[in-house]
């Protein structure tokens, strides 16, 4: 299947693995890229730019296909060494960067000069238009269903994607609620040129996370995520657990007086304990509503091949409707 996204990124299938904290290691990215999608390493999971350079090199040893790196620009007092991170990406021969968080304008000239394509994650059409205006090559349009940060507008993909199609000139992919061939065909119908999957890729054989995490996703329904940090206007969709329910209790109790410090125990530094050690009640971890559509743990190749086969079957059936008419 050829789309503007497969052509732009030099990949076989219009499927991207989103950058995920303590999931986007070399093993994950290489498995997705080898299966014909675009695998992505998460820069800020690496402790230093030198560690990132090593991770990129490790990934390059595992695949000769295109890979990407996610760089999230955080509003923080002690900012990561972004210039060194960008240098590691450029010198590592990475061909695609997924940016997220704050405006990436300050790094775009360096990435462009190196011939790197940039896809920016957006939760609103206005943000996507801004990304287009500053020179991003593509955007990932993230609906309210997505795990992680869905923004503050609460617009689901059935509205957000057609709105993006009406306004944007650059190609975009759908993100949030994406799991299978049905997701892909629906995304294409609504104007996207591919899809980005996060939660679905955690529940794969190659995902370098504890088996407890994969089992939790498979066991969960679409009703098992919660929105936290909404009073701080930093909303995050996470899997429910004891820590998350305690966090929500604190939010309710504090009301308008809630400060980040009140919930720091439930949200700060918990990812290694969850993803690496499998302590499923350690704190809040990002998970999409799409968990309700995930019932198995295939290899990345089985997953992507299955998605493409299902998509082709659906398109053939729909062409049958047209022919019959």
Closest CA to 194 of 1, 69, 14: 14
**Mean pLDDT, 10 residues at a time, the chain of 325 residues:** 98 97 98 98 98 98 98 87 98 98 96 98 98 98 97 97 98 98 98 98 98 98 98 96 98 96 95 97 98 98 98 96 82
The strand ranges marked E within the chain are 15-17, 39-42, 67-73, 96-101, 117-122, 138-142, 172-175, 195-197, 225-228, 236-239
Alpha-carbon distance of 150 to 153, in angstroms, equals: 8
What is the per-residue pLDDT for 137?
Answer: 98
Angle 38-42-45 from CA coordinates, rounded to 5°? 160
Kindly provide the b/e burial profile for residues 170-204, where b requires at least 16 CB atoms within 10 angstroms of the residue's own CB: bbbbbbbbbbbbebbbbbbebbbbbbbbbbbbbbb
What is the per-residue pLDDT for 175?
Answer: 98
β-strand partners of 15? 195
Angle 278-227-143 from CA coordinates, rounded to 5°? 100
What is the per-residue pLDDT for 75?
Answer: 77
What is the per-residue pLDDT for 271?
Answer: 96
Cβ neighbours of 119 (radius 10 Å): 30
CB 273 within 8 A of CB 250: no
Domain boundaries, the chain: 4-208
CB 288 within 8 A of CB 177: yes
Closest CA to 104 of 139, 61, 72, 128: 72
The answer for residues whose C-beta is within 8 angstroms of residue 285's C-beta and 6 or more apart is 213, 238, 239, 270, 271, 274, 275
What is the per-residue pLDDT for 324?
Answer: 81
CA distances from 325 to 195, 302, 312, 319, 322 (A): 30, 35, 20, 10, 5
Q: Give the full edge-to-edge strand order of the sheet including 195-197.
A: 15-17, 195-197, 172-175, 138-142, 117-122, 96-101, 67-73, 39-42
β-strand partners of 17? 197
Handedness of CA 226, 228, 234, 239 (dihedral sign): negative
Gyration radius of the chain over CA positions: 19
- Does domain 4-208 bear CATH number 3.30.30.10? no
């Amino acid at each position: 299947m050829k789309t503007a996204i497969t052509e732009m990124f030099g990949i076989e299938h219009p499927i991207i693995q989103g950058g995920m904290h303590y999931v986007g290691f070399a093993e994950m990215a290489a498995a997705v890229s080898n299966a014909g999608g675009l695998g992505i390493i998460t820069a800020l999971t690496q402790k230093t730019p030198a560690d990132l350079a090593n991770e990129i090199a490790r990934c390059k040893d595992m695949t000769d296909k295109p890979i990407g790196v996610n760089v999230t620009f955080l509003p923080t007092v002690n900012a990561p060494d972004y210039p060194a991170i960008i240098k590691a990406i450029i010198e590592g021969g990475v061909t695609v960067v997924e940016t997220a968080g704050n405006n990436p304008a300050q790094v775009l000239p360096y990435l462009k000069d190196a011939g790197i394509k940039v896809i920016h994650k957006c939760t609103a059409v206005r943000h996507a238009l801004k990304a287009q205006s500053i020179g991003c090559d593509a955007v990932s349009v993230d609906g309210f269903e997505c795990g992680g940060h869905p923004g503050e507008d609460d617009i689901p993909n059935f509205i957000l994607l057609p709105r993006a199609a009406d306004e944007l000139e650059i190609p975009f992919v759908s993100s949030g609620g994406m799991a299978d061939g049905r997701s892909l065909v629906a995304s294409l119908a609504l104007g996207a040129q591919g899809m980005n999957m996060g939660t679905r890729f955690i529940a794969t054989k190659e995902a370098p996370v504890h088996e407890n995490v994969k089992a939790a996703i498979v066991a969960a329904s679409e009703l098992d995520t919660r929105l936290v940090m909404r009073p701080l206007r930093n909303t995050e969709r996470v899997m429910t657990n004891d820590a998350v329910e305690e966090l929500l209790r604190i939010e309710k109790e504090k009301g308008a007086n809630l400060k980040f410090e009140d919930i720091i125990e439930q949200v700060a530094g918990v990812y290694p304990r969850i993803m690496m050690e499998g302590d499923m009640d350690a704190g809040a971890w990002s998970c999409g509503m799409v968990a309700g559509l995930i019932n198995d743990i295939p290899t990345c190749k089985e997953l992507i091949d299955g998605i493409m086969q299902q998509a082709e079957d659906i398109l053939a059936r729909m062409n049958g409707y047209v022919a019959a008419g």
